[in-house]
Amino acid sequence: MPLSEEQTQRIVGIAMDLAREGKTGELAEFLDHGLPVDALDPDRNTLLMLAAYHGQEETLDMLLARGANPDIRNVRDQSPIAGALFKGEDAVVAKLLAAGADVEAGTPSARDAAKMFGREHLLEK
């Protein structure tokens, strides 16, 4: 029997909390049981966005290894890499760059966010 929309949203919400909190093993179990790696919350945040924004490197690595898209932007047109720059998560920025994140996507773009916060050196290859 398929899940109702309400049940699905509850599961996505729990998974988003796991990504935010860096509970990698528990989140991996949700993915192992069919949760899409690029699941979206009502604000179009992905698991990767929340892991990146909260500096959860292990969780970020797991999501990227499972094929998470580093360029999905939320309803405010923010990208995961711009969020990581905003939060000062240098290691996360490096991992997203290595995964091919688009530094020009979003508002502000990662490049613009780096300029705003004096972190342009993080985007140099």
Paired tokens of 58: 């292990």
> Rounded to an integer, what distance in angstroms lies between the CA atom of residue 51 and that of residue 29?
16
pLDDT of residue 56: 98
* pTM score, whole prediction: 0.93
Given a cut of 70, whether residue 125 has pLDDT beyond it is no
What mean pLDDT value characterizes the chain? 94
Taking only the tens place, the pLDDT of each residue in 27-69 is 999 999 999 999 999 999 999 999 999 999 999 999 999 999 9
Domains of the chain: residue spans and CATH: 5-123 (1.25.40.20)
- Exposed / middle / buried, residue 38 (Cβ in 10 Å: 0-12, 13-18, 19+): middle
Given a cut of 80, whether residue 2 has pLDDT beyond it is no
pLDDT of residue 64: 98
